[in-house]
Chains A and B, each alone.
Chain A
């Protein structure tokens, strides 16, 4: 009962955040000087502009416009790109650009978690050892290198100079899986560098804190092996922050992949956002950003909800 009420509360909160965020976005779009239709289709004749104003609701004032956009979204009409006289529905573009981004994020997350969980656990367990210090400084440097720099440099070395893989492009995993993975190696690496660093550091800090807890000493005093203490008693309570942050990144990364997608020319959602902004396709841009924001908030609340239900400590705080 309490759980259902909590879920309901989350849904209300989530919708409020998304509605306000998207409303502010449309407000922002309306701040553009002059006629928005002229922004969308700069060189079109006035009749076409009038048609577009009518179709998008831009003729109706801010609330009318927002309402039309929102009800369109809810019915699956995501708006259109208006370009060069023709147009493309955003939903059609989405169908094409979502999979590459999702694969990219998924792989980067898997790689980052697979590396950071053992690294974080070991370097915390051996705090201040040589292993810990080397890992820490390498990761510290890695997290400071921006994705665009690592991306460009990786592609220069491995694609241009060594010629091991193609520097740019994307293949569907269903058509050509080998090529798909080959093309994904560099972008995934440049995304995963930063992720691995931050995950490892998060986990290390939490594990160090957990190792100082009485209940870990208590578990050790039962005479069970160090390995068992580490996995059964230390990892679970220390992993909350890591998993929360990993899940939050699922939303955040959709926007965060922009740079990587641009550098490696992967037709993903980040690429599309950059494109729509560059081409001043304000309707498409609003839709895409709204989806990213929704994804972020959605993952945020879901993670929160799951930890609330599964982690007894959050319940303890409520009691």
Chain B
């Protein structure tokens, strides 16, 4: 698309989360409005990992936070476990929070530097009165063991004594503390070295299997996404471009933007240098997005139709949806 549409929705599935026509706009000064997310719809089926991929400014992080109502979206609906979140009162929304958790990009900033690890993990348990001190202590040890940190060593330490990867493990443990149904991971590995990246990605997979989680995995890196996701949604300037299972998406790319993203992934192979051939320039400002298809200003296949009419998501292969007037033909 970058367009709209709901062809990719699965109303019959065991959905955990259904997002429809979600719109988030920020006011910047008097008449500057950043259109961060513009009418995005998708759903999450229990046990799947949906990856949301796009470059900076595409609205992927904003989307993740808007689902948790931090802050509330401007319009659209977010239905989580059959409860409409956007219209919930403060107290009812609070009651929903344990089931939906989030892991943030910056491993250091997401832990309070003043609190020892045991306090970081105890906080959600105390807020929700999950047991007495002994039970809480036991739970903390269990969580730390689950993320492969030795409780005896780490309990009393503070975040700045840990490396980025270890901080991220603690964040994961904290997100798991309340036995959530869904975790939104906002670029959880992009601040880490490659060797550590792999550890955290594996850990997330393990936790997903062990606790039966449903994940939404936000990332800018298609290669990272490939390893962990069961479904990928590509976003550009606040709109959805393409939705497909990862293998299908990479082998049978339909959207010109997705193709450019795939081609730009640096491959550690001297025979296959990365290519910038497919698109030029940089994304336009989200304050003043192009009409019709938002990608048309950089798209090699753009036509007049793309300026006039916004493409809708349609199914081009089983489970493969694309919002483009001129999808790539094999």
The answer to the question of A222 belonging to the interface, with a C-beta cut-off of 8 Å to chain B, is: no
The answer to the question of A318 belonging to the interface, with a C-beta cut-off of 8 Å to chain B, is: yes
List the B side residues contacting A5 at CB < 8 Å: 30
List the A side residues contacting B13 at CB < 8 Å: none
Residue of B nearest to A5 (CB): B30
Mark B26-63 against chain A: 1 for CB-CB distance below 8 A, else 0. 00111000000000000000000000000000000000
- Say which size band chain B's interface belongs to: under 10
A5–B29 alpha-carbon span in the complex (Å)? 12
List the B side residues contacting A318 at CB < 8 Å: 28-29
- Say which size band chain A's interface belongs to: under 10
List the A side residues contacting B29 at CB < 8 Å: 318
A5–B30 alpha-carbon span in the complex (Å)? 11
Mark A306-319 against chain B: 1 for CB-CB distance below 8 A, else 0. 00000000000011
A5–B31 alpha-carbon span in the complex (Å)? 13
List the B side residues contacting A319 at CB < 8 Å: 28
A318–B287 alpha-carbon span in the complex (Å)? 14
Shortest distance in angstroms between B27's beta carbon and chain A's nearest beta carbon?
13
Shortest distance in angstroms between B207's beta carbon and chain A's nearest beta carbon?
38
Shortest distance in angstroms between B285's beta carbon and chain A's nearest beta carbon?
10
Residue of A nearest to B285 (CB): A319
List the A side residues contacting B28 at CB < 8 Å: 318-319
Shortest distance in angstroms between A49's beta carbon and chain B's nearest beta carbon?
53
A319–B29 alpha-carbon span in the complex (Å)? 9
Residue of A nearest to B29 (CB): A318
A206–B30 alpha-carbon span in the complex (Å)? 32
Residue of B nearest to A318 (CB): B29
Shortest distance in angstroms between B284's beta carbon and chain A's nearest beta carbon?
15
A318–B27 alpha-carbon span in the complex (Å)? 12
A238–B28 alpha-carbon span in the complex (Å)? 27
Shortest distance in angstroms between B35's beta carbon and chain A's nearest beta carbon?
16
List the A side residues contacting B30 at CB < 8 Å: 5
Interface residues of B in 15-29 (CB under 8 A from A): 28-29
Shortest distance in angstroms between B287's beta carbon and chain A's nearest beta carbon?
10
Residue of A nearest to B287 (CB): A319
A318–B29 alpha-carbon span in the complex (Å)? 8
A183–B30 alpha-carbon span in the complex (Å)? 53
A316–B274 alpha-carbon span in the complex (Å)? 33
Residue of A nearest to B30 (CB): A5
Interface residues of A in 3-26 (CB under 8 A from B): 5
Interface residues of A in 199-224 (CB under 8 A from B): none
A186–B296 alpha-carbon span in the complex (Å)? 72
A318–B32 alpha-carbon span in the complex (Å)? 11
A174–B30 alpha-carbon span in the complex (Å)? 51
Mark B183-207 against chain A: 1 for CB-CB distance below 8 A, else 0. 0000000000000000000000000
A319–B30 alpha-carbon span in the complex (Å)? 12
A72–B106 alpha-carbon span in the complex (Å)? 59
A138–B30 alpha-carbon span in the complex (Å)? 49
A218–B30 alpha-carbon span in the complex (Å)? 36
Shortest distance in angstroms between A64's beta carbon and chain B's nearest beta carbon?
38
A95–B30 alpha-carbon span in the complex (Å)? 43
Shortest distance in angstroms between B191's beta carbon and chain A's nearest beta carbon?
19
Mark B266-290 against chain A: 1 for CB-CB distance below 8 A, else 0. 0000000000000000000000000
Q: List 4 A-B contacts (CB under 8 A).
A: A5-B30, A318-B28, A318-B29, A319-B28
**Residues of A in contact with B (beta carbons under 8 Å apart):** 5, 318-319
4 closest residue pairs by CB, A with B = A318-B29, A318-B28, A5-B30, A319-B28
